[in-house]
Amino acid sequence: MQNTSINFKRQVTIKLADVKLQGALSRLQTRFVEGRAAVIGEINDLQETRTAAAAIRDRVLNDLEYWLLHFEQQATARGAIVHWAETGADVNRIVAEIAARHGVRTAAKSKSMVSEECGLNDALELAGVEVMETDLGEYILQLAHEAPSHIVAPVVHKNMEEIADLFAEKHQLPRKTDIAELCREAREVLRPAFLNADMGISGGNFLLAETGSVLIVTNEGNGRLVTTLPRVHVAITGIEKIVPTLEDVTTLLRLLPRSATGQSITNYVSVLTGNKDSADHDGPEHFHIILLDNGRSSLLGSEMQEMLRCIRCGACMNHCPVYQNIGGHAYGWVYPGPMGSILTPLLGGLENAPDLPNASTLCGACAVVCPVKIPLPDLLRKLREKQMERGMKSRQETFMLKAWAWLALHPAIYAMATKIGVRLMRILGGKEKILHHLPGARGWTDGRDFPAPAGMTFRELYKRGVHK
């Protein structure tokens, strides 16, 4: 997927004015924020469980080569073929080769954010493979030629009316008027796609080193269908998704659906290991697992490594007051919200996403809900430090920061400057004690007044002994 994060600021303006989008985003609060709150307390000791989950992820990341090789060995022993891809383009090439080798003409796909990183669908279409997205949200987006705006609820930015119009147009069926009817229509349209597909494509929520399995969590059942019916199954995921044992993944599963959608467990959890046996009635004859790097390995051993703990639950974006107001498309790539504001610059270049680390108040709501305790605000701040070090900040901002620091380190001059400053601003504030415009701070005063200062500084008054 093309990275358009550079347009973030322009997109913010557009998204804030998008009435339909704002209506759609208002549902985040009930479904996701309140949904999580309602079930997260079911976990016996949440903080202990989060700590354990973070430790599981760290154990793997600190020793990633070992666990990857162990996974590869176990998966291969069961008949799966493990592929390694350095870039998204490599993933596309590998999938196209697999399709060609097995004479695949049609593919049914369940939701995979990693495949969005690669732009897999377009590449497969070019290679002559017809791809059908089968996750309801992804299917709607495929019909509408849009990108997902949320990693768990890809079509959160659309309302029912828009989807009803889209289905009526694309399916050439009478327009449906309620959500259940729309879901049934999608089921009926998509069922043949599952039955006829030569290849199923899925992501992988976790890779189990112990057993060489790919674990997938889904609700709709499409994940099960695409990994059960077609004769070829290709699972695509990032190299960091390894978990050592079945027990470890169980700990993570207590957190993932609760954090993501407020479910104590997703409808289906599928652990897929190897090909079908000769006696089996179902299951793929060929199981390919593609492990994508795409820049992830460069985070290992760095101060950003903690980002690789991420299990893609989306809780950080659900709870982010910035995401809640602009939605996911403004961020310009696959991953929005706090985790995206860190991953996008790290995987796609800080120079291509200069706003993302800065477009946060560092309010910390994301860090509190992160199931694997990623210190998201700290990582955003570290990216800001990198921008400073590499001279990527505007001259004006750098000057202001340095000037303020210099002043703060010279108390006598600071006292003088603030004394003059507050008087000036007090006068400008007039009778109302309000400034409607503030030179150099239009960002503030375009939408807010600036309350005038009292007119004398605390240190002046204190010296005078006002308080005694």
Partner 1 sequence: MHVGLFVTCLVDTMRPRIGFATIKLLEAAGCEVIVPEQQTCCGQPGYNSGDRKSAEAMALKFLAEFEAFDYVVLPSGSCAGMIRVHYPDLFKDDPALLARITALGQRTYELTDFLVNIAKLKKVPGTFQGTLTYHDSCSGLRELDVYKQPRALLAKMPNVALHEMVESTTCCGFGGTFSVKYGELSTRMADNKCQHIEAAHAGAIVGGDLGCLLNIEGRLRRNGDHTTRVLHIAEVLSDSDLEAP
Partner 2 sequence: MNARDKILSKIRNSQARTAAGSVAGTVAQTEMRDSYLALHPRGPLPPPLDNLVAGFKERAIKLSSDVMEASDSKDVPILLARYLSERKLPVSGVCWPSLAGLPWSTAGLDIQSRPAKNQDLVGVTGAFCAIAETGTLMMLSGPETPATTSLLPETHVAVLDPRRIVATMEDAWNLMRKEYKQPPRAVNFISGPSRTADIEQTVTLGAHGPYRVLLILAPL
Binding residues vs partner 1 (CB under 8 A): 9, 12-13, 16, 321-322, 325-326, 358-365, 367-368, 378, 381, 383-389, 393, 397, 401-402, 404-405, 407-409, 411, 414, 418, 421-422, 434, 441-444, 446-451, 453-459, 461-463, 466-467
Strand runs (DSSP E) across 128-240, as ranges?
Answer: 130-133, 199-202, 206-208, 213-218, 232-238
* 138, 148 contact by CB (below 8 A): yes
CA–chain centroid gap for 120, Å, is 18
Instruction: Indicate whether 293 belongs to the interface with partner 2 (CB under 8 A).
Output: yes
| Nearest distance from C-beta of residue 387 to partner 1, angstroms | 6
CA 153/CA 119 separation, integer angstroms: 19
Q: Which does 118 bind (CB under 5 to 8 A by kind): partner 2, partner 1, none?
A: none
Residue whose CB is less far from partner 2, 125 or 247: 247
CB closer to partner 2, 240 vs 355: 240
Which residue's CB is nearer to partner 1, number 268 or number 450? Answer: 450
Among 145, 281, 431, 467, binds partner 2 (CB under 8 A): 281
Query: 435: which strand partners?
Result: 450
Which lies closer to partner 2 via its Cβ, residue 102 or residue 187? 187
Span from 280-288, 351-359, 409-417, 452-460 in contact with partner 2 (CB under 8 A):
280-288
The torsion region of residue 336 among left (phi > 0), alpha (psi -120 to 50) and beta comes to beta
Point out which span in 3-11, 85-93, 112-120, 416-424 binds partner 2 (CB under 8 A). Answer: 85-93
Q: What is the smallest separation between the CB atom of 241 and partner 2, expressed in angstroms? A: 14
The entry of partner 1, partner 2, none that residue 56 binds, CB within 5 to 8 Å by partner kind: partner 2
Task: Look at residue 288 and give its three-state secondary structure.
Answer: strand
- Binder of partner 2 out of 11, 49, 324, 344 (CB under 8 A): 49
Residues contacting residue 190 through CB under 8 Å, at least 6 positions apart: 108, 132, 134, 139, 222
Region from 9-17, 219-227, 325-333, 385-393 binding partner 2, contact rule CB under 8 A: 219-227
User: How many residues touch partner 2 (CB under 8 A)?
Assistant: 104
Amino acid 331 reads: Y
Between residue 159 and residue 178, which ones bind partner 2 under the rule CB under 8 A?
A: 159-160, 163
Please choose, from the candidates 130, 129, 146, 127, the residue with its C-alpha nearest in 3D space to the C-alpha of residue 138.
Answer: 146
- Is the Cβ of residue 104 or residue 322 nearer to partner 1 in the bound state? 322
Distance CA 370, CA 50 (A): 8
Q: How far is the CB of 58 from partner 1 (least distance, A)?
A: 18
Min dist CB 9 to partner 1, Å, is: 8
- Strand 268-272 relative to strand 434-435: parallel, antiparallel, unpaired? unpaired
| Secondary structure (DSSP) of 397-450 | HHHHHHHHHHHHT-HHHHHHHHHHHHHHHHHHHTTTTEES--TT-HHHHTTS-E
Chain positions 243 to 272 lying near partner 2, rule: CB under 8 A, are 244-248, 250-251, 253-254, 261, 264-272
Smallest gap from residue 72 Cβ to partner 2 (A)? 8
Q: In terms of CB distance, is 78 or 393 closer to partner 2?
A: 78
Count CA atoms within 13 Å of residue 448 on its CB side.
6
Q: How far apart are CA 434 and CA 450, in angstroms?
A: 6
